[in-house]
Amino acid sequence: MQYAYKTFGTCSHEITFEINDGILSNVHFVGGCNGNLQGIGKLVEGMKVEEVIEKLKGINCNGKGTSCPDQLARALASKI
């Protein structure tokens, strides 16, 4: 199933992704640091959603209290 998540507190403003049988795929960030966010999307491709949440939850960018990876973890947590 495909999802879209509006981010907050980050340079990216939306994340789209798919979850099928608990596996994450097709992660795309809209806005933000293009190269880094493409890299994150490739690294989490094919991983279990729970594992991605565990690895990315709580990452802080420059004292903002969140980050693009943390926003992905929050987006995923809201869908399971």
pLDDT average, residue stretch 16-42: 97
Q: Are 65 and 26 in contact (CB under 8 A)?
A: no
Question: Which residue segments constitute the domains of the chain, with CATH numbers given?
Answer: 2-77 (3.30.390)
Place of tokens 């049988």: 21
Cα-based distances in Å from 52 to 23, 48, 56: 10, 7, 6
Confidence of residue 78 (pLDDT cuts 50, 70, 90): very high
pLDDT average, residue stretch 28-39: 96
HSE (CB half, 13 Å, CA atoms) of 37? Answer: 23
Confidence of residue 80 (pLDDT cuts 50, 70, 90): confident
- pTM score: 0.96
